[in-house]
Structure 1
């Protein structure tokens, strides 16, 4: 990894999401996971908390002055009726840190309770795409460093993402602002290869990348936009910030996160890592009005509405189509 002002932050971030992915994969591999997941969401709860504990531990130990805005806190795990869930979380964390105690795991999780803006802050989604995780499909561990409200470092682990080029499953995407975007197998995270968005310039040849869950984005609005752009190709549907990775490596050109209800405000942990990966791969990310995403307001993208991510060359045309179909 070449030396840069953020090379140490990137190294720690990649190591952290790779370690967290091990916990997530281990939980998915346990006997009875699929059957349990049909009736009980506790597998993803255990993975969520375990992943957050591992990542927050790594960030806090490496950069103790940096706050972390993460999705979870330990309040639910501290309730008396959740003792069995806490025990399972601790058991999973012990696969990586054998001496970890319950109190330590709870404290690591709570390193992520910050919600305020700061000159330097990390943001983490320990499992982005919980329904994808439960289906054994796509999910991500998404970590990013914000400096003065701008994403400067990203590490995005996609443990179930595959590629047409090999039999490898599971990749980590990473970026430092101004230095390009890269991908490496989770099995060999030091083998970082550059990625780039597609060079598609004709909107009618573009491919949408959409959420599996219609509750995450307005699919009927997307359909109208596709018609406006003349797109007839089937959408790539998958959960989580893996969509950012798919656009970043050129397998789709357009990802839309369109508001499904008035007043909904996006969370920064759902977009920070993926946003930098696409931008450094040559793409562009804005809200549905064409405004840059503003990560300077704490945990929320309070100044933005929805998200449009593209390969870059099609961005203005897509923004115009979104506005027309919203009008």
Structure 2
């Protein structure tokens, strides 16, 4: 995917815009009265297109991705339709007052670095529904998670998802459920939704710890008390923990804990960075 750098020096891909346009369009078809709050708008695309005629290929690439996946029974959609779908979740699309609001919250691709690395790295498409100011529904799609991505598991929700990708949905009071993302399995597999739960392990040296791949165990405060190994077959005593660092920097770590693949994830973050990212963690927190 083409990597773009926006005016704020953050990176975005064509897929970010395409996924936002697609989900925005589908949500508007199903729930037209509920606004969307998302990460992108079309200002960067429009300004690039105006500044360089060659940048029209950017709009065409996004539109091509969109039209390939969208469920549209109406007339053919134009480039402007795609840009409007993106803008439905843009920063100026809706304003809120002091009253608790109901809205969708979307991160089209969380974990851009993992997305760009390819099929062995994890990234997440995150969607949440906030109702009257309270989180009600969380959805995470992780296209590259398989039943062998991280360690061994007895979790039926993952074992029932051969191939690439799972979809995780959580509703307040109804638990957390997963299903495979493979299109053929959605219609042919019996009991496609599997309920999942966190690892019940309560002993540190028997738990599975997860850190982002840009960190090392030596950076963690717990390293003063525990050594670590990444070999599940290696005997561990009460002073050694099992470590995985395959979750990248995305919200896949929430998904891995929610489905029981990991027991604990540890995140080191500066206060200002943590506050900036709180909004994009809500679907993971609910799951």
TM over 0.5: yes
Residue range with higher mean Cα deviation, 81-90 or 108-117: 108-117
The structural deviation recorded for 1:231 is 4.8
Summarize the Cα distance change of 1:267–1:100 in structure 2 as closer, same or farther, 3 Å threshold.
Answer: farther
Q: Does 1:96 align with 2:78?
A: no
The structural deviation recorded for 1:128 is 0.7
CA distance in 1, matches of 2:219, 2:105: 28
Summarize the Cα distance change of 1:162–1:227 in structure 2 as closer, same or farther, 3 Å threshold.
Answer: farther
Over alpha carbons, which structure has the higher Rg?
A: 2
1:222-281 Cα offsets, whole Å, 9 max, x none, are 52224446553222322322111111111111123332365652334521111111xxxx
Q: Does 1:47 align with 2:15?
A: yes
Checking the alignment, whether the CA contact within 8 Å between 1:70 and 1:269 is kept in structure 2 is no
Summarize the Cα distance change of 1:179–1:231 in structure 2 as closer, same or farther, 3 Å threshold.
Answer: farther
Give 3-state SS (helix, strand or coil) of 1:72's partner: coil
Matching of residues 2-17 of structure 1 within 5 Å: none
The structural deviation recorded for 1:150 is 2.2
Checking the alignment, whether the CA contact within 8 Å between 1:144 and 1:152 is kept in structure 2 is yes
1:108-150 Cα offsets, whole Å, 9 max, x none, are 0011125765521111010111000000121111101012332
Given the alignment, which residue of 76, 81, 85 partners 2:44?
Answer: 76
Checking the alignment, whether the CA contact within 8 Å between 2:209 and 2:241 is kept in structure 1 is no
CA distance in 2, matches of 1:256, 1:149: 28
> Which residue in the other structure is 2:86 paired with?
109
Cα root mean square deviation, aligned? 2.6
> Which residue in the other structure is 1:250 paired with?
260
Calculate the TM-score normalised by the size of structure 1.
0.65
Checking the alignment, whether the CA contact within 8 Å between 1:206 and 1:231 is kept in structure 2 is no
CA distance in 2, matches of 1:268, 1:64: 26
1:47-98 Cα offsets, whole Å, 9 max, x none, are 0000000101111222222221111111111022332211110111111247
Aligned residue-pair number: 236
Q: Does 1:139 align with 2:123?
A: yes
Matching of residues 197-212 of structure 1 within 5 Å: 197-212=198-213
CA distance in 2, matches of 1:210, 1:189: 32
Matching of residues 54-69 of structure 1 within 5 Å: 54-69=22-37
Give 3-state SS (helix, strand or coil) of 2:178's partner: strand
Summarize the Cα distance change of 1:143–1:262 in structure 2 as closer, same or farther, 3 Å threshold.
Answer: closer
Given the alignment, which residue of 158, 180, 187 partners 1:185?
Answer: 180
Summarize the Cα distance change of 1:160–1:210 in structure 2 as closer, same or farther, 3 Å threshold.
Answer: same
Calculate the TM-score normalised by the size of structure 2.
0.74
Q: Does 1:225 align with 2:222?
A: yes
CA distance in 1, matches of 2:218, 2:269: 9
Larger helix fraction of residues? 1
CA distance in 2, matches of 1:269, 1:140: 15
CA distance in 1, matches of 2:83, 2:195: 37
Unaligned 5+ runs, structure 1: 1-32, 278-327
CA distance in 2, matches of 1:127, 1:194: 25
CA distance in 1, matches of 2:272, 2:89: 28
> Which residue in the other structure is 1:170 paired with?
165
Q: Does 1:120 align with 2:102?
A: yes
